[in-house]
Amino acid sequence: MDGRSEKATLHDALFRPRSIGLVGLSSDRRRPTGRVLDILCRGGYGGRIYVVNPRHDEVQEARAYPSLGDLPEAPEHVYVLLGTRLAEQAVRDCAAIGVRVVTVLADGFAETGPEGAARQRAMVETARAAGMRLLGPNSMGLADHHGGAWITVNAIYGEPDQLAGRAVLISQSGSMMGGLISRARSLGLGFAKSIAVGNEADLSVGEIGLLCIDDPNVDVFLLFLETIREAGPLAAFATAAQAAGKPVIAYKMGRSKVGQQLAVAHTGAVLGDDAVVDAYLRDAGIARVHTLDGLVEAATLFAGRRPLGKTDPAVGVLTTTGGGGAAVCDRLALTGARIEPAGEATLAAIRATGLNVVRAPMTDLTMAGAGPRFVRPALEAMMRDPGFDVVVSVSGSSARSATAETMRPLIEADKGGKPFGAFLTPEATDGLRLLVEAGVPAFRTPESCADAIGALLHWRQPRAGIAPASSAPEQGAVIDERASLALLEGLGVPVVASLEVSVAEVGNAALPFAYPVVAKVLSEAVPHKTEAGGVVVGIAGRQALAAAGLEIAASVAAHHPGVTVDRVLVQPMVAGLQEVLLGYRRDAQVGPVVTLAPGGVLVGLYDDKAVRLAPVDEATAAEMIGEVVGLAPLRGHRGLPRGDLAALARALAAFSRLAELADVVEADANPVMVMESGVVAVDALIVRGG
């Protein structure tokens, strides 16, 4: 069977199975495990349904079989509705009879700790040995609105007025799947498919997304993420989706420390620094929003679009209400959006309608210009303005008092294909639905409007050449500073000259560089030298150097009993314009990442850094340098001397090639001295995996 046929077969077994087994269906329709049959019927499923319940001959007027082995055929898709222990046996039974896909509702697996994780691994091994795929555990199921099956316990599917749409929702939370569907439905937005992946023990977000890319009913993907579990498949899916012209937008939990802790408790996720996740999503070509409404409302904005491809795109804001327009501008500015006034030709076209508009960050038609005869020509002039990459329209009270009349120009105006969004200041659900049904992006709040627009502005093409995500090796041994510097030098990072000398002979050493010098303890057992008193700076001569060696040995022995110091590293004192940190780690979630931040004593004082998946090229390194506010002095802030930022970019790109060394767990070069000409790393720490 070729790859395409296998993909299609799995897709159909998931979403359009010819037969479905319900193991453990309750006779009580009010219970989650009892509502599945009604939901299947509500969705119009026309295939064969088999109920398995050993305690009853009939459940909800359907014949019940005592076991899976008693069924007349192996169902293509089985939904296991049993508790944890019984679910494990049911999965084994499914594997034994040749089920193609099994979905498991039960929790009590990896999210509960090591024992649960072991049970989950065993369940996956059973499925894989039989060639069976598993959705979940901890999955509330899935639904396909375009002729497929609704195999889910989510109560949202028991409600009337379900809408079919052109977005796929893939959620790591089953309850949030229902929450997002209900929010979308209030706007008149429906979904093509919705999937609750649960623990992703086998089928992951990325693999499920890949199964849906070829669906002609799909235009855009929305992801609700609590963590990043399978970074490689997720990135591969995002790349393929963007190539197909089907954007991927994600809401990712865990931005705050509290959010990270809650996500861990809920899903067993191993969450890291949110900046790492942000870097991963950007480099994978996944647009990121930060509000639930923004995720839902971004679907219409992104559908059919590709990244703008500009480093500093501009937004134009047209409003008929000063307060509403200002609220949008304020939130947009917080996303980093560049809000520009209209050009003179645009203003002239608007003034020709009889409105006396002024040049300002937002173009305010005022209440006098709220009618269609003013709004449509003004909007068309804004859309033609070459200074705008995106245009936002803000409507006032007329969106509620004269809904159809106010929405008409927003729908009918010639927008020339440029991204456009509309925020309605009052609560105007009817107006929002009119816009969305006409394919016009519409937003309920200034926050969701700015969130979605900001995500579009920051959206990028997937970055090629990054190292594939893989499991981080077990942390092993620190290598000493001399070996660390040598390794970095081999990658192309400029490093300071160094001489290794025994403590006993340091005063007699013939140095290949001039005084003053610095002496440091050289020991794998003392990675943090300064805290242990293992560094002496400003050494002016031989006698001072000999004394420094003894001082270092005594101080380290006091801080680290049992550690014998017999070596020191001597280096020339290096002065620079500013100290910079280059950091690297092989992240457990997303793979190799590289960080740039102010270095020296400022490390960790501010949340001021740039992070990317590693390795990076010099252009990306230069982009990172531009993002770090604390490096403004090196850019000549207020007349300060400029540092050699080109040399820093080269050093950062070379440092990021640590990603090519699979056994390096983490590393930093701190400080790297940036000078007016050149840079040099004067200290380094590298940890190799065991």
Query: Which range among 86-90, 375-379, 431-435, 562-566 shows the weakest confidence by mean pLDDT?
Result: 562-566
Same domain, residue pair 202 and 243: yes
Same domain, residue pair 411 and 363: yes
- The pLDDT-based confidence of 589 (bands split at 50, 70, 90) is confident
Could you tell me if residue 323 is inside a domain? yes
3-state secondary structure 79-120: EECCCHHHHHHHHHHHHHHCCCEEEECCCCCHHHCHHHHHHH
Phi-psi region of 585 (alpha: psi -120 to 50; beta: other; left: phi over 0): beta
pLDDT tens for 221-254 read 999 999 999 999 999 999 999 999 999 999 998 7
Could you tell me if residue 469 is inside a domain? no
* Total Cβ atoms within 10 A of residue 217: 17
Same domain, residue pair 554 and 568: yes
Nearest to residue 307, comparing CAs of 414, 206, 390, 410?
Answer: 390
Alpha carbons 544 and 509: distance in angstroms, whole number: 12
Could you tell me if residue 150 is inside a domain? no
pLDDT tens for 268-318 read 333 347 889 999 999 999 999 999 999 999 999 999 999 999 989 999 999
- The pLDDT-based confidence of 260 (bands split at 50, 70, 90) is very low
Q: What are phi and psi of 321, to 5 degrees?
A: -140, 120
Could you tell me if residue 631 is inside a domain? yes
Could you tell me if residue 468 is inside a domain? no
pLDDT tens for 311-357 read 899 999 999 999 999 999 999 999 999 999 999 999 999 999 999 99
Mean per-residue pLDDT, 92-102: 98
**Could you tell me the CATH number of the domain that includes residue 559?**
3.30.1490.20
Which tokens belong to 636?
């000549």
Alpha carbons 264 and 619: distance in angstroms, whole number: 36
Which tokens belong to 246?
């089907």
**Could you tell me the CATH number of the domain that includes residue 665?**
3.30.470.20
Mean pLDDT of the chain: 93
Alpha carbons 616 and 275: distance in angstroms, whole number: 16
Mean per-residue pLDDT, 5-28: 96
pLDDT tens for 609-659 read 999 999 999 999 999 999 999 999 999 998 999 999 999 999 999 999 999
Q: Looking at the predicted structure, is the pLDDT value of residue 11 above 50?
A: yes
Cβ(462)–Cβ(363) below 8 Å:
no
Domain limit, last residue, from 572, 595, 611:
572
Same domain, residue pair 105 and 171: no
Could you tell me if residue 68 is inside a domain? yes
Could you tell me if residue 8 is inside a domain? yes
Alpha carbons 468 and 257: distance in angstroms, whole number: 27
Alpha carbons 55 and 24: distance in angstroms, whole number: 10
Same domain, residue pair 176 and 296: yes
Mean per-residue pLDDT, 110-126: 96
Same domain, residue pair 450 and 526: no
Same domain, residue pair 297 and 254: yes
Same domain, residue pair 685 and 642: yes
Strand pairing category for 499-502 and 567-572: antiparallel
Phi-psi region of 136 (alpha: psi -120 to 50; beta: other; left: phi over 0): left
Phi-psi region of 39 (alpha: psi -120 to 50; beta: other; left: phi over 0): alpha
Q: Looking at the predicted structure, is the pLDDT value of residue 577 above 90?
A: yes
pLDDT tens for 501-514 read 999 999 899 999 99
Alpha carbons 614 and 591: distance in angstroms, whole number: 8
Nearest to residue 282, comparing CAs of 452, 460, 453, 455?
Answer: 460
Q: 564-595 burial by CB neighbour count: b if 16+ within 10 A, else e?
A: ebebbbbbbbeebbbbbbbbbbbbbbbbbbbb
Alpha carbons 95 and 133: distance in angstroms, whole number: 9
- The pLDDT-based confidence of 474 (bands split at 50, 70, 90) is low
3-state secondary structure of 257: helix
Alpha carbons 28 and 34: distance in angstroms, whole number: 5
Q: For the chain, what is the domain count?
A: 5
Alpha carbons 439 and 413: distance in angstroms, whole number: 13
Mean per-residue pLDDT, 42-60: 96
**Could you tell me the CATH number of the domain that includes residue 267?**
3.40.50.261
Query: Which range among 6-10, 22-26, 585-589, 633-637 shows the weakest confidence by mean pLDDT?
Result: 585-589
- As beta bridge partners, residue 317 has 362, 392
Cβ(211)–Cβ(236) below 8 Å:
no
Strand pairing category for 610-613 and 591-598: antiparallel
Mean per-residue pLDDT, 251-276: 56
Q: Looking at the predicted structure, is the pLDDT value of residue 4 above 70?
A: no
Alpha carbons 475 and 663: distance in angstroms, whole number: 9
Cis before 233? omega within 30: no
Same domain, residue pair 453 and 501: no
Strand pairing category for 567-572 and 101-104: unpaired
Same domain, residue pair 181 and 111: no
Same domain, residue pair 676 and 625: yes
pLDDT tens for 352-392 read 999 999 999 999 999 999 999 999 999 999 999 999 999 99
Cα 629 to the center of its chain, rounded Å: 23
Domain limit, last residue, from 284, 306, 328:
306
Dihedral sign for Cα atoms in the order 626, 591, 602, 527? negative
Q: 478-502 burial by CB neighbour count: b if 16+ within 10 A, else e?
A: bbbbbebbebbbebebbbbebbebe
Cis before 313? omega within 30: no
Cis before 615? omega within 30: yes
Query: Which range among 187-191, 273-277, 393-397, 645-649 shows the weakest confidence by mean pLDDT?
Result: 273-277
> Under 8 Å CB-to-CB from 204, ≥6 apart: which residues?
197, 229, 230, 233, 234
Alpha carbons 613 and 278: distance in angstroms, whole number: 10
Token pair 């940890």 is found at 687
- As beta bridge partners, residue 63 has 58
- The pLDDT-based confidence of 564 (bands split at 50, 70, 90) is confident
Cα within 13 Å of Cα(532), Cβ side: 22
* Domain span holding position 424: 314-458
- The pLDDT-based confidence of 588 (bands split at 50, 70, 90) is confident
pLDDT tens for 199-229 read 999 999 999 999 999 999 999 999 999 999 9
Could you tell me if residue 609 is inside a domain? yes
Q: What's residue 466's pLDDT?
A: 77
Alpha carbons 410 and 352: distance in angstroms, whole number: 19
Cβ(209)–Cβ(241) below 8 Å:
yes
Q: Looking at the predicted structure, is the pLDDT value of residue 55 above 80?
A: yes
In eight-state DSSP terms, residue 137 is S
Same domain, residue pair 412 and 348: yes
Percent of the chain scoring above 70 in pLDDT: 94
Q: What's residue 267's pLDDT?
A: 32
Domain limit, last residue, from 118, 136, 154:
136
